[in-house]
């Protein structure tokens, strides 16, 4: 009896204390913040948090099937979380800020989540399998272009009956306008999954007998009236080997076909083909319905190198603006996929400078889309196909150049005058790679295609007198390898518009297709 009385008394005390705590919290939530000191309420961090809360509470969620007339899928190739963080800091510092407090365009979107990126046969994925998952709703093997996992890689005959239908094809079948834009070759893995079906991503301009190569499938696309806006690199895959382009570069096709000419003949007067900045600037969206822009023989230039190209080529944000202008001519709506393809290539080369500057340009392209669309009828999704082994480490002081060497704080919390030294007595950079070709320095130059072989440096280099912020600097790598590899962790996803809230939480990469199909009613008969 005594024990029960004591227990009851303690329970009453606990309940009273809990009730008091709840009363304090509830009063604070209703504007009575006596529990918070004035210096806390007066902090700009506190004020910004309150503002963000009010904005979140006021968000409208449209879950109606088919509410999205338009879909724009942005894919930052290789744009993992660490790349987003570093690009955010770089962009902020370009605006004269410390950097960490900055927000990239898509980070201002109301909904965000995480995406699991593995392929069905690989823990760390490739771009073909991941892009296939996004645009078809079905995960598959590495190297597969919109073909399911049941066949062997490179098995042409077996793959013919195992193709997967993409969101772009569904949009075309409904009479919507469609587009693909990339800074990589337009026949490269990510854009290719929207229109081609092959068990080998490398068949860009030639394929075994019985299969059609990726470039041919683009020009011959049988769904609807074909893709309306095509802009990117990869011109050589559309031209015969015996022919040269305006820059004197020979084509790659061994079948003698000139696919550019075939594309023009298919659409006649309604089609415009362009190869450079001059053609891009002259192009008038009012007088045409179809656009094919192939701005480089292979991949387009890195954003930091783009202005040095004599022929000239548009930026990703410029292509996005022009593409939206052309696609927006129709009242039926559209599907557009935009890829920042060279983020990935910069990382593979171990060159954070190029990777991050291309990521910043990618964010500008997203900003263009946000400014030129209505969130009430356009679903914009921003994500990555996979990550990289890119890291941000050390304890650099606030505002330290993201591409610079680590400069820490002293005991008073103030920046030190010299870079911090590692255990071997040498300075080190804030960003680096877990594997790759390792340290290299070319002064002001960068490798043009991201695939040029670099000298492998397995040991540490003394960076004391090296400008690590120069375009030609390639970060050190922990494990020596011919090329830096992808990373296997989850990537971020950000969204705005009808159905955007469905992408919150942690989801499979294939879930993205299902959200797009639901939001735009792509599976409904029209």
Residues serving a catalytic function are 127
Report d(CA 270, CA 20) in Å as an integer.
Answer: 73
In order, the DSSP letters of 350-407 are T-HHHHHHHHHHHHHHHHHHHHTS-TTTEEEEEE-S-EESEEE-S-PPTT--TTSB--
Geometric angle at alpha carbon 304, from 235 and 460, rounded to 5°? 110
Q: Which residue has the tokens 């696609």?
A: 327
Q: Under DSSP, is residue 499 helix (H, G, I), strand (E, B) or coil?
A: coil
Phi then psi dihedrals of residue 177, to 5 deg:
-85, 150
Phi then psi dihedrals of residue 188, to 5 deg:
-70, 170
Report d(CA 139, CA 161) in Å as an integer.
Answer: 17
Residue 127: its H or E element: helix 127-136
CB-neighbour burial class of residue 363 (10 A; exposed 0-12, middle 13-18, buried 19+): buried
* CA-CA-CA-CA dihedral for 445, 448, 454, 458, to nearest 10: 70
Helices (H) and strands (E) counted in the chain, each on its own, are: 15, 17
User: What pairing do the DSSP bridges indicate for beta strands 378-383 and 491-496?
Assistant: antiparallel
184-199: burial string, b at 16+ Cβ within 10 Å, e else: bbbbbbbbbbbbbbbb
User: What pairing do the DSSP bridges indicate for beta strands 473-474 and 334-340?
Assistant: unpaired
**Gap between the terminal Cα atoms of the chain:** 75
Report d(CA 504, CA 68) in Å as an integer.
Answer: 18
Q: Under DSSP, is residue 497 helix (H, G, I), strand (E, B) or coil?
A: coil
CB 509 within 8 A of CB 57: no
Q: Under DSSP, is residue 419 helix (H, G, I), strand (E, B) or coil?
A: coil
Report d(CA 482, CA 478) in Å as an integer.
Answer: 13
Geometric angle at alpha carbon 487, from 481 and 489, rounded to 5°? 160
Beta strands in 221-367 (DSSP E): 229-233, 271-274, 290-294, 334-340
């Amino acid at each position: 009896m005594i024990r029960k009385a004591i227990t009851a008394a303690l329970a009453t005390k606990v309940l009273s204390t809990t009730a008091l705590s709840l009363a304090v919290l509830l009063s604070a939530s209703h504007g009575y913040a006596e529990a918070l000191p004035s210096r806390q309420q007066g902090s700009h961090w506190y004020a910004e948090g309150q503002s963000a809360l009010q904005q979140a509470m006021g968000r409208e969620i449209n879950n109606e099937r088919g509410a999205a007339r338009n879909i724009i899928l942005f894919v930052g190739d290789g744009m993992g979380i660490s790349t987003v963080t570093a690009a955010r800091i770089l962009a902020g510092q370009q605006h004269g800020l410390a950097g960490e407090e900055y927000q990239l365009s898509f980070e201002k979107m109301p909904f965000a989540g995480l995406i699991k990126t593995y392929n069905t046969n690989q823990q760390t994925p490739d771009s073909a399998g991941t892009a296939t998952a996004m645009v078809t709703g079905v995960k598959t093997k590495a190297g597969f272009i919109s073909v399911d996992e049941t066949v062997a890689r490179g098995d042409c005959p077996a793959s013919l009956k195992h193709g997967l239908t993409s969101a772009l094809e569904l949009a075309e079948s409904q009479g919507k306008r469609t587009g693909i834009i990339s800074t990589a070759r337009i026949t490269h893995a990510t854009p290719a999954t929207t229109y081609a079906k092959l068990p080998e991503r490398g068949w860009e301009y030639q394929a075994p007998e019985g299969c059609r190569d990726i470039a041919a499938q683009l020009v011959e696309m049988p769904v609807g009236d074909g893709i309306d806006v095509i802009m990117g690199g990869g011109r050589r895959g559309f031209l015969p080997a015996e022919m040269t382009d305006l820059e004197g570069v020979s084509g790659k096709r061994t079948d003698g076909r000139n696919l550019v000419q075939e594309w023009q003949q298919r659409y006649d007067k309604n089609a415009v083909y362009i190869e450079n900045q001059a053609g891009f600037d002259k192009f008038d969206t009012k007088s045409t319905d179809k656009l094919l822009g192939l701005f480089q023989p292979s991949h387009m230039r890195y954003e930091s190198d783009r202005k040095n190209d004599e022929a000239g080529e548009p930026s990703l944000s410029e292509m996005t603006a022009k593409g939206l202008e052309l696609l927006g001519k129709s009242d039926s709506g559209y599907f557009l996929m935009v890829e920042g393809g060279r983020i990935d290539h910069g990382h593979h080369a171990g060159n954070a400078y190029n990777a991050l500057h291309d990521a910043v340009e990618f964010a500008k392209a997203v900003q263009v889309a946000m400014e030129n669309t209505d969130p009430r009828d356009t679903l914009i999704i921003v994500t990555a196909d996979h990550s990289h082994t890119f890291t941000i480490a050390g304890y650099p002081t606030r505002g330290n150049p993201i591409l610079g060497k680590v400069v820490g704080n002293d005991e008073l919390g103030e920046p030190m005058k010299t870079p911090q030294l590692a255990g071997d007595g040498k300075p080190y950079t804030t960003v680096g790679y877990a594997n790759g070709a390792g340290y290299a320095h070319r002064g002001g130059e960068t490798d043009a295609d991201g695939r040029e072989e670099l000298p492998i440096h397995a040991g540490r280099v003394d960076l004391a007198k090296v400008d690590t912020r120069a375009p030609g600097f390639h970060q050190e790598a922990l494990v020596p390898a011919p090329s830096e590899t992808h990373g296997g962790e989850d990537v971020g996803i950000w969204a705005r518009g009808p159905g955007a809230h469905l992408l919150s939480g942690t989801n499979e990469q294939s879930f993205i297709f299902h959200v797009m199909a639901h939001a735009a009613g792509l599976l409904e008969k029209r």
